[in-house]
Amino acid sequence: MQRIRLRYTKRGRLRFTSHRDFQRAFERALRRAEVPMAYSAGFTPHPKVSYANAAPTGTASEAEYAEIALTTPRDPAQLRARLDESLPAGLDIVEAVEAHTADFAERLQASRWELRLDGVAAEEAERAVAAFLAADRVPVERMTKRGVRAFDARAAVVSLGVSRPEPAGGSDGPAPRPCAILRLVVRHGTPAVRPDDVLSGLRVAADLAPPVPAAVTRLAQGPLDEETGTVHDPFAPDRDAASAASPMAAGRQAAAAPGTAG
């Protein structure tokens, strides 16, 4: 059985697609692309697809992950292209690798996010971020399936900074509307701290309340370098294993080919 790992996106209006909606669209795409899926056993077989750490509904993402199991080997690049053609624009399969390693979900240790705060001046955001980072603990509450849950939003934040958006027009135009962009790296854990929890923490720590909902995008997720706060590519071990396996396979084929001995 071949396993293929996929990176996909949620862009534009399709950021409002729920994870369940994506699952239905993805399974239809698997059928349209005629992917030779492996199925589970039992009375109600279903395609062997696993998803890892899906982003919340309403959040855009450049780094969502899924793994599929195939009964017949396929070239990952060709499979990616066929699946991408079968999905609506905005739900895009952007990368595919053959799985050569185990414990993929455990590599997704942290996420890097961008939060666009329209109507918030950069100076105001910097003041709030400084107060948040200086706090030992920032308690927030969130409604969950089991009711209201309280937890610390500060502990999971690896880094948080502010940048200003690039100006859209020339200097002769009207003054741009205030806007601050937050760059956030958050460690995955239990309970999971989400970008909206950090925004709640900024309100608790510094009374920062954006006048409109933030536009949130996950830019990356993967292994976390604790020293630098960098989020690395989770596909790197599979690529390295595939590169190491290719020369070995070529050597075995050459050794088995007739007439190669001198």
pLDDT the model gives residue 174: 60
Note the pLDDT tens digit of each residue in 194-239.
999 999 999 999 999 999 999 999 999 999 999 999 999 999 999 9
pLDDT the model gives residue 191: 85
Average pLDDT, integer, range 158-180: 78
Residue 185 forms part of a structural domain: yes
Which residues are CB-contacts of 205 (< 8 A; sequence separation ≥ 6)?
Answer: 128, 131, 132, 135, 138
Is-contact 50 41, C-beta < 8 A? no
CATH label of the domain that carries residue 100: 3.30.70.580
Owning domain of residue 201: 109-231
Note the pLDDT tens digit of each residue in 33-44.
999 999 998 888
Residues 75 and 101 occupy one common structural domain: yes
Name the domain count of the chain: 2
- Between 253 and 19, the more confident residue is 19
pTM of the predicted structure, to 2 decimals: 0.88
Residue 88 forms part of a structural domain: yes
Residues 75 and 136 occupy one common structural domain: no
